[in-house]
Amino acid sequence: MSFIVIIPARLASTRLPNKPLLDIAGKPMLQWVWERASASAASRVIVATDDQRVVDAVAQFGGEVCMTRATHESGTDRLQEVAVKLEFDPEQIIVNVQGDEPLIPPSVINQVANNLASSERAGIATLAKRIRERDEIFDPNVVKVVVDNTLHALYFSRAPLPWDREAWNRETVAANAPLAGEWTRHIGIYAYRAEFLHNFVSWPVGRLERLEKLEQLRALENGVAIHVDESWEEIPPGVDTLADLERVRAFLRDQRGGRA
């Protein structure tokens, strides 16, 4: 089974400008992501960007890059342009690894690609982890996924789904919510086939996607099955804020024995 990793990298982050190029232990963050992806079983790792500064940085560390339009609304749209430009076979499996995941384990990249390759039903494969902290259930930035008995997604939401009708009410929901392993956090790594990407960009934004601001709901609204497996490894959080960046810097500094 052969798969390709594409890393969408844009510099126009509102919370952390120029995020992919920010320094972590002497390397741009994007290089850390590229190195993790290159340690997977991928036959090819491609950075997709709309900015010449990213192209130059990727050239510095010896990676492959594909320049794309600046008008894309999502990383998925950017992936589809790469698939068109590089003339991928419709059955080519592509794993979308976000450019702000410098600590992503290579094994989970392999896992999501293998899951899609093994599934006759799914058009997408992704991963999840059990929620262990009560606050995460009620945090709208933590996307919850509800899965059926065949490991396919029923729904993704920012809301605390499923709702425990017997245990929760308006007064006690946050303080006394029990954790019985029923809540699952979605992890934003995806495997697609190129043909799915071509279909996806032709569909209008769905009503559920518009409400939740979750583009995977566009696939569900159009009848695409999404395989959801529990991640083999813990996946450290990505970098969205300056505090996240400092946390990753400290983690890697500790790993390197205190060296910057």
Give the model confidence (pLDDT) of 33-79 as tens digits: 999 999 999 999 999 999 999 999 999 999 999 999 888 888 888 89
Splitting the chain (260 residues) into consecutive groups of 10 residues, what average pLDDT does each group show? 90 78 90 96 95 93 92 86 94 94 94 94 94 83 93 95 74 57 87 95 94 95 96 84 86 66
Res 118: pLDDT: 94
From the list 102, 105, 59, the residue with the least C-alpha distance to 234 is 105
Give the model confidence (pLDDT) of 97-110 as tens digits: 998 889 999 999 99
From the list 154, 212, 213, the residue with the least C-alpha distance to 184 is 154
Cβ–Cβ under 8 Å, residues 131 and 137: yes
Cβ–Cβ under 8 Å, residues 58 and 34: yes
Q: What is the CATH number of domain 3-255?
A: 3.90.550.10
Report the sign of the C-alpha dihedral through residues 168, 170, 172, 178, in that order: positive
Domain segments of the chain: what residues? 3-255
Categorise residue 146: left if φ over 0, alpha if ψ from -120 to 50, beta otherwise.
beta
Res 231: pLDDT: 93
